[in-house]
Amino acid sequence: MDPREFDVIILGGGIVGAGTLRDCAMRGLRALLIERADIATGASGRNHGLLHSGARYAVNDPESAAECIRENRILRQIASHCIDQTDGLFISLPEDDMAYQRTFVDACLKAGIGAEIIDPALARQLEPSVNPELIGAVRVPDASVDPFRLCASNMVDAKLHGAQVRLRTEVTGFIREGDTIRGVHTRSAQTGRTADYYAPVVVNACGVWGQQVAEMAGVTVGMFPSKGALLIFAHRINNTVINRCRKPSNADILVPGDTVCIIGTTSTRIPLENCHRVSVTPDEVTLLVTEGAKLTPSLSETRILRAFAGVRPLVSDDSDPSGRNISRGIVCLDHESRDGLKGLVTITGGKLTTYRLMAEMATDVVCRKLGIEKACETATTPLPGSQGRSYEEVAREIWEAPSTAQKAAAARLGDVVTRMPNPSRQDEALVCECEEVSAWEVNNAFERMGVSTLTDLRRRTRVGMGTCQGELCACRAAGLLAKAQDCAERERADLLKFMGERWKGSYPIGWGDTLREAEYTQWVYKHVLGL
């Protein structure tokens, strides 16, 4: 067969694109995914990592709430290695309207969400960090999820089912014959080489950038780019997701994840052309800290690790300038029936929590167009790493007495870790001490997970995401990558770019000891490494 021909081409390497690739491959389709950067570079990797119970949307968007709770239950089964079963609390403070609590609970129950009103004293016992002045509390089945791990796991499983992935490859245009899309023109961002790929169906899963992709094909998808600012704190203050029991507003969710916690979020409409360069302002930092301290007072005295922002892929509604009340529902557009353009499907909207359902809907359309009758199996087939064994059991399958780093690798990779060659003593050396990442895990990412830069490595392994923000581990990782790619000068430039990106997240919160540490890091890199 012509290696340029496929049954379906998926554009976008976020969680929806990765999930669609997996679903298509599991149904026997020859599938290709094309991403201009790396996995989870958009909204999929720029969120608070909340596995929604749907409770947040129960009052204003019951359809999305019902979708969230159904997918929440599915993901706990098929992606357990990506999920921290934290549970969630919606708290009411003295300035909040207690009548809203009853409205909230009734809406949750109607959507199928198990919401239980509990005594404030019990809430303080379940989550000691919560604001002791709370006057009401509702328990819901929220959880936290690692979006990078979830996206990578879907990509890995798709490849295991025969799918292909082209990262750092930009789509420059569509191959069109009359009213039919036949394929795409592409250009490699690394080599500049051009290539054409053909398929009877192309799926646009590019999130907020899906509007620009659709315009290349001559159709429209009205997006509402809504920027959300978030802060990462240097340690895990809370073990339960804490929400404010009120109408959705700024800084009303505190999500624990791994060794940190994340406060979010704001909602500000921005121009579509600015989606590539979003940043957090000092005013947003002040707002997030001030409002976040109302959820847990210790937040105001906790070191902020970094600030970041993402752009929600909401479908346009000009009547709501903030985007708060726009539905988080799924939008699946068959451009043949909508616009008379054959061979193009757009999947957008939704949430990280509902990515699997979005992928199923898009794949159903693809299969219908191709005349294929094969049921979706992604709701019952576990991802690699969630095959019913704990990460301790997986680690012990390889090592008699696994170290902390080996257990961490098993937690991140799940059962995939058993397919990797046994490490030498040198391989067991730690590259990232904050996140317990060994040289063995780093080298595996180079060889098997499509890593070509330090930023790619961060998304696969969490190198540089810990307390030091790459201050110590970035050099070690760059050395291993230079050895793997036999190009020290390129990795020197990559290291400089990586640390620059780390600084971008520190800049908005640069004061006190944080600023002093940043100055010290700059001194080390400048005077020791000449960067």
* pLDDT above 70 (res 204): yes
Does residue 480 contact residue 439 with C-beta atoms inside 8 Å? yes
pLDDT tens digit string along 329-345?
Answer: 899 999 999 999 999 99
Q: Taking the C-alpha atoms of 344, 345, 348 and 352 in order, what is their torsion angle to the nearest 10 degrees?
A: -120
What is the model's pLDDT at position 388?
A: 64
Lowest mean pLDDT among 126-130, 163-167, 416-420: 416-420
Q: Which residues contact 432 (CB under 8 A, 6 or more apart)?
A: 461, 462, 463, 464, 466, 472, 473, 476, 477
Q: Which residues contact 128 (CB under 8 A, 6 or more apart)?
A: none
Please, which pLDDT band fits residue 389 given cuts at 50, 70 and 90?
Answer: low
Angle, CA of 452, 456 and 458, to the nearest 5° = 135
Lowest mean pLDDT among 159-168, 372-381, 421-430: 421-430
* pLDDT above 70 (res 320): no
Alpha carbons 310 and 351: distance in angstroms, whole number: 13
What φ, ψ does residue 344 adopt, rounded to 5°?
A: -130, 130
* pLDDT above 60 (res 121): yes
Query: Quick check: bond before 265 cis, omega within 30?
Result: yes
Kindly report the length of the chain.
531
* pLDDT above 70 (res 40): yes
DSSP string, 119-141: -HHHHHHH-TTS-TT--EEEEE-
Q: Could you give the 3-state DSSP secondary structure of residue 478?
A: helix
Q: Taking the C-alpha atoms of 64, 66, 72 and 77 in order, what is their torsion angle to the nearest 10 degrees?
A: -140
Percent of the chain with pLDDT over 90: 69
What is the model's pLDDT at position 317?
A: 47
Q: Could you give the 3-state DSSP secondary structure of residue 426?
A: coil
Q: Which residues contact 454 (CB under 8 A, 6 or more apart)?
A: 463, 464, 474, 477, 478, 481, 491, 494, 495, 497, 498
- Average pLDDT for 134-147: 97
Percent of the chain with pLDDT over 70: 97
What is the model's pLDDT at position 401?
A: 75
Please, which pLDDT band fits residue 326 given cuts at 50, 70 and 90?
Answer: low
8-43+148-221+329-370 under CATH 3.40.50.2000, yes or no: no
- Average pLDDT for 474-485: 91
Lowest mean pLDDT among 174-188, 274-288, 378-392, 410-424: 410-424
What is the model's pLDDT at position 259?
A: 83
Task: Give the DSSP letter of residue 462.
Answer: -
Q: Which residues contact 483 (CB under 8 A, 6 or more apart)?
A: none
* pLDDT above 90 (res 411): no
- Average pLDDT for 509-513: 89
Structurally, what CATH architecture does the domain formed by 83-144+224-315 represent? 2-Layer Sandwich (3.30)
Alpha carbons 531 and 519: distance in angstroms, whole number: 13
Alpha carbons 403 and 417: distance in angstroms, whole number: 14
Does residue 8 contact residue 203 with C-beta atoms inside 8 Å? yes
Alpha carbons 416 and 410: distance in angstroms, whole number: 8
Please, which pLDDT band fits residue 375 given cuts at 50, 70 and 90?
Answer: very high
What is the model's pLDDT at position 485?
A: 85
Domain boundaries, the chain: 8-43+148-221+329-370, 83-144+224-315, 420-527
What is the model's pLDDT at position 1?
A: 63
Element counts in the chain: helices (H) and strands (E): 16, 23
Amino acid at site 468: C
Position with higher pLDDT, 173 vs 485: 173
Which of 253, 269, 272 is CA-nearest to residue 261?
Answer: 253
Lowest mean pLDDT among 29-33, 320-324, 354-358, 465-469: 320-324
Average pLDDT over the chain reads 91
Roughly how many angstroms between the first and final C-alpha of the chain, as a whole number? 48
* pLDDT above 60 (res 319): no
Q: Is 206 exposed, middle or buried (0-12, 13-18, 19+ CB in 10 A)?
A: buried
Task: Give the DSSP letter of residue 266.
Answer: -
Provide the whole-model pTM.
Answer: 0.92
Does residue 242 contact residue 248 with C-beta atoms inside 8 Å? no
What is the model's pLDDT at position 162?
A: 96
* pLDDT above 80 (res 280): yes
